Structure 1
Amino acid sequence: MRDIAIVTDSTSDLPDEFIKANDIQIIPLQVNCSNKTYKDKIEITYEEIYVNLDKEIPTTSLPFAEDIIDVFERLKANNIKNVVGLFLSSNLSGTYNLISQIAKDYLEYMNIKLIDTKTISMGIGHAVIQAANAVKLDKSFDEVVDIAVNTVKNTRTFFMLDTLTYLIKGGRIGKVSGVVGNILNIKPIIGVDEIDTGQYYTIKKVRGRNIALKTLNEIVQKLIDKKKECVVAIADAIAKDDRDKVYDMIKSNNNNIKDFIKTSVTPVIAVHTGPGLVGISIYCKEGLDDLRAY
């Protein structure tokens, strides 16, 4: 096996078992509460955040520079010569830019390719998984990078929110839209523009949670129609029952799905979405349509 390390940030929402089995290096973002700053997913869980939501809505921030340096120092000490990094959209966070600046100090020791995925959650996770699989197959550094980049291009990520409240408080959506949506029980289906801006956009707005869950399934069906061997990841934030409902709907209508991944969102994502999120990320090697057309 070649000396290629895969690095990502905590918002990739990868299952813990995969991270350990493939020695994926994780750089945690931060969750800021009034009493303390916590390392995402390491020192705090989304359950702990939601228990105290009536008292406090935390904020989030970039990784500590020390945590980024620690990862590169560890790789240097282990004589790793090649690093592929996949990170949260630079239009959603400054994480990619910060890591890029620090990585410059290590270019004399290793080849480093950092990728702004223009996405979030398992949109990043799919690319990490495919890159790690390529390393196991003894692919070259350039081949691993190409596989990671192509995976990002062939992945679509979208999610349903139970309420717009937390996106409003995080300054990511207009307040008028939020007030109307909450009054009318509107559930937004939000996509991530992986093709262009790397920002959130609204795919649909539907009334009622059950209809929103069915809409997630309908979008999946349209995306993977006549495709082969797609991988579907489903994530939740305190919504495992609904996550499983969507999983059952998707599975009952498809025989062309190679694998399913069930996971939960990281606390940093949970702060901005609130409880009740159900999200889907689909990777298909053949490519997928632009969700902005839906």
Structure 2
Amino acid sequence: MKKIILSADSTCDLDDRLKERYEVHCQPLHINLGDKQYEDGVNISPDDIYETYERQRILPKTSAPNPKEYIDYFKKWTDQGHEVVHISLGSGISSSYQNACIAAEELGNVYPIDSGNLSTGMGLLVIEAAERIVKGMPAEQISEEINHLKSKVEASFVIDKLTYLHEGGRCSAIAAFSANLLNIKPCIEVDPTSGNMNVGKKYRGALPKTLKRYTMDKLNGRSDIKLDRVFITHSGTSPENIAAVKQTIEEVADFKEILVTRAGCTISSHCGPNTLGVLFVTN
């Protein structure tokens, strides 16, 4: 039987421990900051981005690997006769999936999957794929099942300040100023059918209380949640905020595993610090 290699774009935001646990290989996206180009999660960190913004008021541009880069990346496995299941950043927000598909057509034995998602919304699908590989499922069937499952991923985040979204051209100056002035913290929800992001509930008040209310809104009283795992993913926030969200989760849902990860550069450069999301799969 051919060996199946599990791969994902760096935007899956799995930490090193989880990548090792599930044998995940990552293709970094590009981070273009000033006149320099970096690789997401390799030679630049979110804190580097925040520090540069504070000093110079510039934010990076992010870009997908091109088809040639994907070909070179996959080829080291396909040349050995292996198959590759690759989970891409949602096609609604990146050309990653399209470029991975071009590489797959060139090489064969590569199964790109459009996650329709970002961050650990992707990460949840990566873990689901890993579990199917361990069970001995063929690559084509894994691709089919993950494509079916992606509509069941619930990914959302609460944004503390709209400064980075405004600077990145994703909301108007008036909207950002009004939200920051009124202490409004919007919940950004991912539409898994398109990968697009929509504004959900708008919270008002201090961040710790907002995060508790948001977590309750997402989890309380629901019977449709798959309780294998839940992610708390943040772009850099206090241990107290993380602990409060974790405690709230434990009060309302009996997950087998609560995984805490920090978002990488691609996600953090768009949302800024103190963004936090609770992400899970439904039945």
TM-score scaled by length of structure 2: 0.91
State the distance in 2 between where 1:8 and 1:217 align: 27
Please report how far the alpha carbon of residue 230 of structure 1 lies from its aligned counterpart in structure 2 after TM superposition. 4.2
Deviation at 1:33, TM superposition (A): 1.4
**1:191-215, Cα deviation, whole Å (9 max, x unpaired):** 0011x33211111111122332022
**Aligned equivalent of 2:276:** 278
Q: Aligned equivalents of 1:272 and 1:124: distance in 2?
A: 17
Contact persistence 2:208–2:244 (CA under 8 A)? no
SS at match of 2:86: strand
Query: What is the DSSP-based 3-state SS (H/G/I as helix, E as strand, rest coil) of the residue aligned with 1:238?
Result: coil
**TM-aligned CA distance change 1:143 to 1:66, over 3 Å:** closer
The answer to whether the aligner puts 1:207 opposite 2:204 as a matched pair is yes
Question: Structure 2 CA distance, aligned partners of 1:227 and 1:65?
Answer: 37
Do 1:49 and 1:271's aligned partners in 2 also have CA atoms closer than 8 Å?
Answer: yes
| Post-superposition CA distance 1:63-93 (Å, at most 9, x none) | 255532222111123320x222211111111
Contact 1:27–1:71, Cα closer than 8 Å, also in 2 = yes
| Alignment partners' CA distance in 1, 2:245 and 2:208 | 10
Residue 59 of structure 2 corresponds to residue 57 of structure 1: yes
Listed as ranges, the matches of 1:40-189 within 5 Å are 40-54=40-54, 55=56, 56-80=58-82, 82-107=83-108, 110=109, 112-189=110-187
Superposition TM-score, scaled by structure 1 size: 0.88
Question: In structure 1, what is the equivalent of residue 244 of structure 2?
Answer: 245
Trace 1:210-289 onto structure 2 (pairs within 5 A). Answer: 210-222=208-220, 224-225=222-223, 227=225, 229-241=227-239, 242-255=241-254, 257-284=255-282, 286=283
Structure 2 CA distance for partners of 1:239 and 1:259, relative to 1, 3 Å: same
Asked if structure 2 preserves the Cα contact closer than 8 Å seen for 1:189 and 1:212, the reply is no
For 2:215 and 2:39, locate their aligned partners in 1 and report how far apart those are by CA, in whole Å. 33
Shift of the alpha carbon at 1:219?
2.4
Preserved CA contact (<8 Å) 1:46 1:267: yes
Name 1:3's counterpart in structure 2.
3
* Aligned-partner SS, 1:119: coil
Q: What is the identity, as a one-letter code, of the residue corresponding to 1:87?
A: S
> In structure 2, do the counterparts of structure 1 residues 122 and 189 end up closer, same or farther at CA, with 3 Å as the change threshold?
same
Q: Which amino acid aligns with 1:213?
A: L
Please report how far the alpha carbon of residue 184 of structure 1 lies from its aligned counterpart in structure 2 after TM superposition: 0.7
Q: 1:227/1:92 Cα in 2 relative to 1: closer, same or farther (>3 Å)?
A: closer
Aligned pairs (5 A) from 1:13-28 = 13-28=13-28
Instruction: State the 4+ residue runs in structure 1 displaced beyond 6 angstroms.
Output: none
Number of aligned residues: 279
2:195 paired with 1:198: yes
2:227 is aligned with what amino acid? E
Q: Deviations over 1:30-87 (max 9, x none)?
A: 111124110000111112222222123222122255532222111123320x222211
Encode CA deviations 1:227-254: one digit per residue, 9 max, x unaligned. 4524210111111421222111111222
In the TM superposition, what is the alpha-carbon distance from 1:123 to its structure 2 partner? Answer: 0.7
User: What is the Cα deviation at residue 161 of structure 1?
Assistant: 0.9
How far apart are the structure 1 equivalents of 2:75 and 2:164? 37
Q: CA 1:5–1:87 in 2, change beyond 3 Å: closer, same or farther?
A: same
Over residues 141-169 of structure 1, what are the superposed CA-to-partner deviations in whole Å (9 max), with x where a residue is unaligned?
A: 23322332233122100001111111122
Give 1:187 shift.
0.6
**What stretches of structure 1 of length at least 5 have no aligned partner?**
287-294
